[in-house]
Amino acid sequence: MYDSFAIARLIDLWLAEDVGHGDLTAQTMIEPDERGRFAMNAREPLTVAGIEVAAAVFCRYEPRLDVAVAVRDGDAVASGAVLLTVEGPARGLLTAERTALNIVQHLSAIATETARWVALIAHTKARLIDTRKTTPGLRMLEKHAVTCGGGLNHRLGLDNGVMIKDNHIAVCGGITAAVARARRQLPTLTKIEVECDRLDQVDEALAAGADVIMLDNMSLPDMRAAVARVGGRVPLEASGGIRFDTIKAIAETGVDYISTSKITQGARPIDIGLDAA
């Protein structure tokens, strides 16, 4: 989910960056009254994300364009599927083309990659979640793309919850002291998560009243031991060094969540084109 007001501001920035002082190609070759009709097509199987944003790009630059969206975010489509059609003044349509394609390609790549990872752990209770390692300025949209692929969002920002990491623990003098400091000033319904890289830290975090415990770069045997020690009293998140070839075994340890930046930072480009229709 994303806010349309915030998206409008982003679209203005994207278009200003690409158009500059004017589209020399379109303005010198295309007459103002010429019209065009084009279809945005998937050129490979993919999970859709950002299609409404792409439509908004066209309409923002040229309000007279008629855009018909044919799919929804989260849809898995085959190669050749029509994602949207756009018809109207050709000059504005062609000027906005690349910006619209860029955003839907980028977000659909994240959604498609997320869906690949989610499928690997579907037989377990573990859920895949993202991280704050996102492209500056695009976090809201990239996290939306993760949900389109079947993943969940971790914190949207630093103001969404307390994450006590090793450096916080070092400054405070220990997990117990760190949790106590956070709890004194924290809003009642806000959760505290503690990062642990050893089993004794898991015990301390649990005793200190952590709401969620992160198992950071732990071995599979230690993850299984942590699951047994916690016994379902708080959710456990596995994080650090998660790979496509290891996530299945990690999920099978019994953890509740697995977080990785690979789904936002490592998604390969998706091929989507705009073709005359």
In the chain, what's the furthest Cα-to-Cα distance? 72
* Set 18, 52, 87, 98: catalytic member: 98
Is 125 annotated in the active site? no
Tokens of 267: 């998604």
* Set 165, 198, 233, 243: catalytic member: 165
- The pLDDT score that the predictor gives to residue 117 is 98
Is 12 annotated in the active site? no
Is 191 annotated in the active site? no
Report which of 185, 171, 161, 173 is spatially closest to residue 237, judged by C-alpha positions.
161
CATH number of residue 180's parent domain: 3.20.20.70
The answer to whether residues 75 and 191 belong to one domain is no
Domain containing 147 equals 119-265
The answer to whether residues 189 and 103 belong to one domain is no
The answer to whether residues 186 and 261 belong to one domain is yes
CATH number of residue 87's parent domain: 3.90.1170.20
* Set 62, 193, 216, 256: catalytic member: 216
From the CB of residue 137, how many other CB atoms can be counted at a distance below 10 Å? 11
- Residues of the chain with pLDDT > 90: what percent? 94
Is 216 annotated in the active site? yes
Is 229 annotated in the active site? no
d(CA 127, CA 134): 19
Give the number of domains in the chain.
2
Place of tokens 């760190």: 178
pLDDT tens per residue, range 175-211? 999 999 999 999 988 999 999 999 999 999 999 999 9
Mean pLDDT of the chain: 96
Please name every residue paired with 46 in a beta bridge, in sequence order, or none if there are none. Answer: 77
d(CA 38, CA 94): 10
